[in-house]
């Protein structure tokens, strides 16, 4: 069974420890794929929720000390249950966030780390010229992504105009630039949730990562073809329609470049 069909059949519950900016979009994209989204910020029920979940997303976009404790607890439990854990390290190169991720990494194994080029460079112990949550458009250093994967033991999904995905041995890039998608805040958060949804049903963790990226990129292309690049306010509703309509047969692995 193909992964899209498998998601629709199994309806995996994807637990998101989300930031407070984009929870609706994150939940919507999981639902459009056929998964069952759940978003929480509290520690009181994480054990119970993880017992029925198939993947966990940890997003540090609006992290607090209290949320950090919840994330550590949830990550440890997810590791015990062998549930894939996806880290979205928003602006990790900022000092407080760096400390938070370092504390997380001391206790939690991340199966996937999804970030922009500046965030991924941090995991490779390299500097980036980018600041904030946005990265330079031309910063797609394949060696950096591979280094980050080898350093962390995670599958790295670097998103941008060109997505680069590596497990430290296998590395692919996907060149589907969608400027209008990038204009909408939360596209990266959504990709993290999409990776989690595919990881929840895939036998091959690396395949889950690149198929997730292909789904986002192709849906973005289809949306741009429909609404254009100059209607960003109309873009996201059309994007949800586009990713909902995609089928496994639409996903062409031939557009990827292997490195």
Q: What is the mean pLDDT of residues 69-81?
A: 97
Alpha helix (H) ranges present in the chain?
Answer: 3-10, 23-33, 46-50, 65-80, 95-107, 117-123, 142-152, 179-183, 187-199, 205-227, 232-245
- Please give the pLDDT value at position 177: 77
**231 has pLDDT over 90:** no
Choosing among 1.20.1300.10, 3.40.1190.20, 3.40.50.1820, 2.40.30.10, the CATH entry for 3-258 is 3.40.1190.20
**Nearest CA-CA partner of 194 in 49, 46, 14, 6:** 14
**140 has pLDDT over 80:** no
Query: Binding residue per annotation — 159?
Result: yes
Q: Give CA angle at 3 (173, 83), nearest 5°.
A: 90
- Please give the pLDDT value at position 136: 46
Question: 3-state secondary structure string, 183-212?
Answer: HCCCHHHHHHHHHHHHHCCCCCHHHHHHHH
- Please give the pLDDT value at position 176: 81
Q: What is the DSSP letter of 174?
A: E
């Amino acid at each position: 069974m193909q992964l899209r069909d498998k998601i629709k059949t199994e309806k995996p519950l994807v637990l998101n420890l989300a930031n407070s900016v984009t929870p609706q979009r994150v939940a919507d994209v999981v639902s459009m794929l056929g998964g069952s989204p759940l978003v929480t910020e509290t520690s009181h029920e994480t054990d119970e929720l993880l017992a029925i979940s198939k993947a966990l997303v940890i997003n540090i976009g609006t992290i607090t000390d209290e949320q950090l404790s919840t994330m550590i607890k949830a990550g440890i439990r997810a590791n015990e249950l062998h549930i894939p854990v996806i880290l979205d390290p928003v602006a990790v190169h900022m000092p407080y966030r760096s400390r938070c991720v370092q504390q997380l990494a001391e206790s939690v194994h991340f199966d996937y780390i999804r970030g922009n080029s500046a965030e991924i460079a941090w995991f490779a112990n390299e500097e980036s010229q980018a600041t904030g949550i946005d990265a330079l458009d031309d910063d797609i250093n394949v060696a950096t992504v591979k280094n980050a994967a080898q350093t962390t033991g995670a599958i790295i999904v670097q998103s941008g105009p060109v997505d680069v995905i590596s497990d430290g041995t296998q590395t692919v890039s996907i060149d589907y630039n969608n400027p209008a998608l990038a204009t909408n805040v939360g596209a990266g958060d959504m990709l993290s949730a999409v990776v989690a949804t595919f990881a929840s049903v895939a036998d091959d963790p690396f395949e889950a990562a690149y198929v997730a990226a292909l789904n986002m990129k192709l849906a973005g292309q289809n949306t741009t073809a429909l609404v254009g690049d100059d209607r960003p306010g109309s873009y996201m509703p059309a994007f949800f329609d586009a990713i909902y309509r995609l089928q496994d047969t639409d996903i062409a692995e031939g557009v990827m470049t292997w490195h």
